[in-house]
Structure formats: structure tokens, C-alpha cells
Amino acid sequence: MKRKHSLFCRLTAVVILCVMLLPMYGCSGSGSQKIVIWTSGEDYKNEFYLNSLREKFPDYDITLEYMTSSNIAAKISEEGDNAQVDIVCSEEYGYLYMIEDKLAALDDFDFSVFLDDIVPESKKFTPEVKNGGCIVINRKVLEDKGVPVPESYQDLLDPKYKGLISMPSPASSGTGYMFLRQLVNEWGEDKAFEYFEKFSENVLQYTSSGSGPVNALVQGEVGIGLGMISQAVVEINEGVPLEILFFDEGAPYSMYGNAMLQKSASRPEVKAVFEYLATELCKQDNERYFPDQIYKDYTPKVEGFPASVKYGNMANDTLEEKERLLQKWIFS
């Protein structure tokens, strides 16, 4: 009896201890401290963000999942409060406007540090990146194919460049759309769409993400890519022999931001992660990869980034206009 009683006491003590520890570990197990972030950012940036967040918040189960800009918006629009996401990161402004009704109002966030013209009127998402585009070339690939470096968009229609060009699809990538938007503004809609119809004959592939063309250049799959300045600079700084060009029309650009889902805004851990991401990590991202000015009192410098970029005409970059142009792109 004494042995049985002792065993019972020990088992009872274990049960009591487990109940006492439940508040400490139960949250993680039940998922209440699990935080899911969807991002359209590049691999190198996503790795930096995730490592920084896990170091800052070691007790939280933080997951960062990559999706294209269009897929993020589509899933949140379709799934609403059932979407398995708490924070959206590096999402193009046009798509953020599309899901604004699902986003939390950021009443306590200090928007005054940002340039006034990039702060959304609703204040439901925060500026993160001004993403400029450029023409990137792999000169060795072009030399091996015996073709010259192009000097204009019209040059890219020459049949000698067939299969040597990569561009992000405007239908799935904010980077791809900004090239379409700019040329519509510069040339007029009819001329721009006529151009892309001919241009497509020389394109090896329209990639689903904005990083696709530069990745193809790095692998030597193409010699010319319509891509992001920042990504090209990262690769060049790592020793990849790429070069950045700008045609007479200048560089297209788009704005990207961060947002918190309305359904998750009541969770303190989500608010803490979002605040850190949208302030500290945003500024570090500006310092490391995307030095175009977004802050009123701070202009960072990044090695290898073009000293002065002439930006092109990005007028009328509204959600309605984007939806209209993309419908025409898809069905033309």
C-alpha cells in the first residue's frame, strides 16, 4: 500500500506540474503564439527578415512564406478571415489597396517619419520600399551569342535577341506591371500593347515573380532581363558579372508596403512583430538593399547602387487602372 500510495502521489505531482506549465507552453502548442507572414520579397531579403525576427522574438513561432504579389491579394480576398496569415510584407501598393477592407487600421503607428506622398490615405499599411526597375544584362551571354548590348526598348524587338530576354509577367508581378504601366504612360496604351505583342516573340519566359529575370541572368539562361535595380546590385556586389542599364524612358518604379490583418490585430504578439518589422527592419532594409528615399530625414547609401536614377512616368497608377490594364494584358 505504501508503494502504491507513493506512486499515486508522484503521478499526481506530475499532473499538477503539467497543469502549471500549460500557460507557458500551451500557447505555442495551440498556435496562439504562431505568427504567419506572407511576403513577395526576394530570397536574400526574406532570409534576413526571418532571421532577424526569430532573434528578436525567440518565444514566438514565426513563419515567413513567399508568394507572388497577386497570389497574396487573391488569397486574402477569397479567404477573408479564414486566411492563414497575420502580417503581409513587401506587398505592392496596388494589391494592398485591393485588400484594404481586410487590413487593420494603424492608428498608433507614426507615419510622420515617411515622405508625405507615399503614405496611404487610409493609413492601413506602412511604406517599406520604393522599388526601381532597370535593364540588366549578362554581357558574356550576349558576346557568346554574337549580339550587341541593346540601347533602347526598340532594339529589343530585333529577332537577334530571340530567346535571350526575360521579363516578369505583369499579371503576377508588381515588378512586371511597373514596366507595362510606364510604357503605357510614355507611349500611349495602343502603342505600348503593340510593342509588347512584338516584344513577346523574343522573350524566353515571362516569370511569375519579379526576381525571376535576374535569377535567369545569374544562371546564364538569358542575356537581358527587365528586373529590379536592388536585386541586380546585390548580385553584382557578390561578384556576379551583371550590368545595369537605363533606356531613355528612365526607370519604372513601384511602392511596396507592410500591413497587419484586421483579424489578427487584437493579438499583442502580432502587433509587436508588426511594429518591429515596419520600423526597425524596414529601415535596415532601406540601408541594405533599397536605398531610394522613403524617410523624410534619411537617405541611405548602398555600394554599387546607381548614384542618380532618372525615374520615369508612373502617373495614374491606381487600382482601377491596374485591374483594367491587366485584364487587357491577359486577354490580348
Residue 254's φ and ψ, nearest 5 degrees, are -145, 155
Tell me if 128 sits within 8 A of 282, measured CB to CB: yes
DSSP 83-146: SS-SEEEEEEHHHHHHTGGGBPP-TTS-GGGB-GGGS-TT--SEEEEEEEEEEEE-HHHHHHHT
Amino acid 202 reads N
Tell me if 54 sits within 8 A of 37, measured CB to CB: no
Neighbours of 89 (CB within 10 A): 25
pLDDT values of the chain reduced to their tens digit, one per residue, 332 residues: 333 344 334 434 433 333 333 333 333 333 469 999 999 998 889 999 999 999 999 999 999 999 988 899 999 999 999 999 999 999 989 889 999 999 999 999 999 999 999 999 999 999 999 999 999 999 999 999 999 999 999 999 999 999 999 999 999 888 999 999 999 999 999 999 999 999 999 999 899 988 999 999 999 999 999 999 999 999 999 999 999 999 999 999 999 999 999 999 999 999 999 999 999 999 999 998 888 889 999 888 899 999 888 999 999 888 889 999 999 999 87
Q: What is the pLDDT of residue 271?
A: 97
Report helix, strand or coil for 51: helix
Q: What is the pLDDT of residue 19?
A: 37
Q: Which domains, from first to last, does the chain contain?
A: 11-130+255-288 (3.40.190.10), 131-253+307-331 (3.40.190.10)
DSSP alpha helices (H): ranges in the chain?
2-30, 43-56, 69-79, 93-98, 139-145, 174-187, 189-199, 212-218, 229-237, 268-276, 282-288, 319-331
